[in-house]
């Protein structure tokens, strides 16, 4: 009877998971309508970033749009962040990547590149008004901020021993610039159009060196795959260069110069995107905790089972998913498993699985601890009255255990809500990533992070108060 109930519970979990996961999977297009999925960054202005209306724009985005129109093909952009986009291409999660990606000999071993569409180069910038640094020689013994995977990083890495500085790596340009503004790093290296755009937008830096020759940017596909898409890109690129449209696109962004905005201007302009990110954070948390609760119930009861083998299974589950860092688990589920098994996975589904497995392990321990907190004499008393084990557990033990569990459940809700911010590494635009996107456009790190912090604080404080109210009501019953 117990095995039957356990089986029904597992089947219910699988059915509910399939329904929710299916709601996130994109609807398949007709067989004759090929839609290419293109990975990109969304915090790399002026090549790709979101404008104040939430639209993904920039040199790369406009070039891709113009080429697709010229060559008559459809595409869907997946903003993932640079490192995640490259990994997605490697694991066949996307068909191509356009993200200010430098064409290097190392990358040519793994990817096929288009004809160069932008000639890049590296420059160094310092905090505006800092007269202490004017050349590479002044960096000796200092820290230099760099963005991983960029020409600036490669240049700084190659010259660090020559000029005696140490590297401080970041995943996005805005964070790198903020580190220089605050004085933690003496300077930064970045691709010249990116830095030039940032300076014009008021990022608080000054460029102090001439441009170093760098590699060109190219559109990338996996080695030997999607050659038709690569051919179309090259043909379209040649056409828009010949027509003058390419130059018009580049001049639109490199030459822009927006006025500085006040705190309230940024707040009003950013709030719709941040509220949308907050809603997605809450939704992702709730869905993940539903599955985590089911996993926690199953393995929690296994943890207190009288069967040594079942307790062992639960212990292995808890040890694995509490022991693996969440970011590593996210990468493994979203990139590793699909690449190994040859299928595509939606990022939201990957995030739900990651958060559910992680939170489920902690909920398992919450349930185990709650049950074991009830005096053993309660079970013995129930059994001595002739009640079976299952009824004693459901009627006597669990009602008492729930009183102990409630604060821990609310605490886990808070932890999982904050853990959703890690899911931005696989391209999900939750509250934290929404803040990064706005910063990439405005370069107002302190203002935007203050707003994001206040939003998290309000939600988490409300949850804490709810926890206190529920705990008092349960204890008073």
pLDDT along the chain (477 residues), means of 10: 44 46 44 81 84 84 94 91 86 90 89 91 89 89 88 89 91 83 90 82 85 87 92 94 92 64 69 86 91 89 84 91 91 86 84 92 87 70 69 70 77 88 83 81 78 89 79 67
Q: Which part of the chain is CATH 3.40.190.10?
A: 34-117+218-254, 118-215
Contact predicate 174/151, CB 8 Å: no
Token couple for 404: 């102990």
Q: Which fold has domain 118-215?
A: D-Maltodextrin-Binding Protein; domain 2 (3.40.190)
Residue 174 Cα to chain centre, angstroms: 16
Token couple for 83: 């490192």
pTM of full prediction above 0.75: no
DSSP 3-state assignment of 462? helix
**Alpha helices for 78-209 (secondary structure H):** 82-90, 105-108, 151-163, 173-181, 192-200
Q: How far apart are CA 82 and CA 422, in angstroms?
A: 15
Write the CB contacts of 338 (distance below 8 Å, at least 6 apart in sequence).
91, 92, 93, 344, 345
Q: How far apart are CA 353 and CA 349, in angstroms?
A: 6
Looking at 1.10.3720.10, 3.40.50.12160, 3.40.50.2000, 3.90.550.10, the CATH number of the domain 2-22+263-476 comes to: 1.10.3720.10
pLDDT for 30: 44
pLDDT for 389: 66
pLDDT for 411: 84
pLDDT for 262: 62
Burial 130-158 (b: 16+ CB within 10 A, else e): beebeebebbeeebbbbbebbbbbbbbee
Contact predicate 230/71, CB 8 Å: no
pLDDT for 113: 95
End-to-end CA, the chain: 32
Strand partners, 97: 39, 220
Q: Which part of the chain is CATH 1.10.3720.10?
A: 2-22+263-476
276-311 pLDDT, tens digit per residue, is 889 999 999 999 999 998 998 889 888 888 788 888
pLDDT for 341: 84
Q: How far apart are CA 442 and CA 434, in angstroms?
A: 12
Alpha-carbon distances, residue 471 vs 219, 413, 467, 474 (angstroms): 56, 15, 6, 5
pLDDT for 110: 92
Contact predicate 164/74, CB 8 Å: no
253-283 pLDDT, tens digit per residue, is 875 555 555 667 677 777 888 888 899 999 9
Q: How far apart are CA 333 and CA 338, in angstroms?
A: 7
pLDDT for 379: 67
Q: Which fold has domain 34-117+218-254?
A: D-Maltodextrin-Binding Protein; domain 2 (3.40.190)
E strands present in 252-344: none
């Amino acid at each position: 009877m117990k095995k039957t109930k356990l089986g029904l519970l597992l089947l219910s979990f699988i059915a509910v998971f399939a329904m929710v996961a299916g709601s996130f999977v994109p609807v398949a297009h007709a067989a004759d309508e090929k839609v290419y999925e293109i990975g990109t960054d969304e915090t790399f202005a002026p090549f790709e970033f979101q404008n104040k209306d939430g639209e993904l724009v920039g040199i790369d985005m406009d070039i891709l749009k113009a080429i697709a129109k010229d060559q008559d093909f459809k595409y869907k952009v997946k903003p993932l962040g640079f490192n995640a986009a490259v990994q997605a291409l490697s694991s066949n999660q996307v068909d191509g990547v356009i993200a200010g990606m430098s064409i290097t000999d190392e990358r040519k071993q793994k990817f096929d590149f288009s004809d160069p569409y932008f000639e890049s180069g590296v420059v160094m910038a310092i905090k505006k008004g800092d007269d202490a640094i004017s050349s590479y020689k002044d960096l000796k013994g200092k820290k230099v901020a760099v963005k991983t995977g960029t020409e600036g990083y490669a240049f700084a890495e190659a010259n660090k021993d020559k000029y005696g500085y140490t590297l401080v790596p970041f995943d996005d340009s805005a964070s790198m610039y903020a580190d220089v503004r605050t004085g933690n790093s003496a300077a930064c290296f970045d691709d010249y159009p990116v830095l030039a755009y940032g300076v014009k937008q008021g990022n608080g830096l000054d460029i102090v060196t001439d441009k170093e020759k760098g590699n060109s940017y190219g559109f990338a596909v996996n080695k030997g795959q999607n050659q038709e898409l690569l051919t179309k890109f090259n043909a379209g690129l040649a056409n828009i260069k010949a027509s003058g449209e390419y130059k018009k696109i580049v001049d639109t962004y490199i030459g822009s110069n927006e006025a500085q905005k006040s705190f309230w201007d940024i707040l009003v302009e950013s709030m719709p995107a941040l509220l949308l990110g907050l809603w997605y954070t809450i939704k992702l948390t709730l869905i993940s905790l539903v599955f985590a609760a089911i996993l926690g119930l199953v393995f929690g009861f296994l943890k207190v089972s009288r069967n040594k083998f079942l307790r062992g299974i639960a212990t292995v589950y808890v040890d694995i998913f509490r022991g693996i860092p969440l970011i590593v688990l996210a990468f493994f589920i979203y990139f590793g498993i699909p690449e190994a098994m040859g299928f595509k996975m939606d990022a939201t589904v990957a995030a739900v699985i990651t958060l559910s497995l992680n939170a489920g392990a902690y909920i398992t321990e919450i349930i185990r601890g709650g049950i074991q907190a009830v005096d053993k004499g309660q079970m013995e008393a129930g059994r001595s009255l002739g009640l079976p084990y299952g009824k004693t557990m459901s009627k006597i033990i669990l009602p008492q255990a729930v009183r102990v569990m409630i604060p821990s459940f609310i605490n886990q809700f808070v932890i999982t809500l904050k853990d959703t911010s890690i899911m931005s590494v696989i391209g999900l635009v939750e509250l934290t990533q929404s803040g990064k996107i706005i910063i990439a456009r405005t370069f107002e790190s302190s203002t935007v992070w203050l707003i994001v912090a206040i939003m998290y604080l309000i939600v988490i404080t409300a949850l804490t108060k709810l926890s206190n109210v529920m705990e008092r009501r349960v204890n008073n019953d």
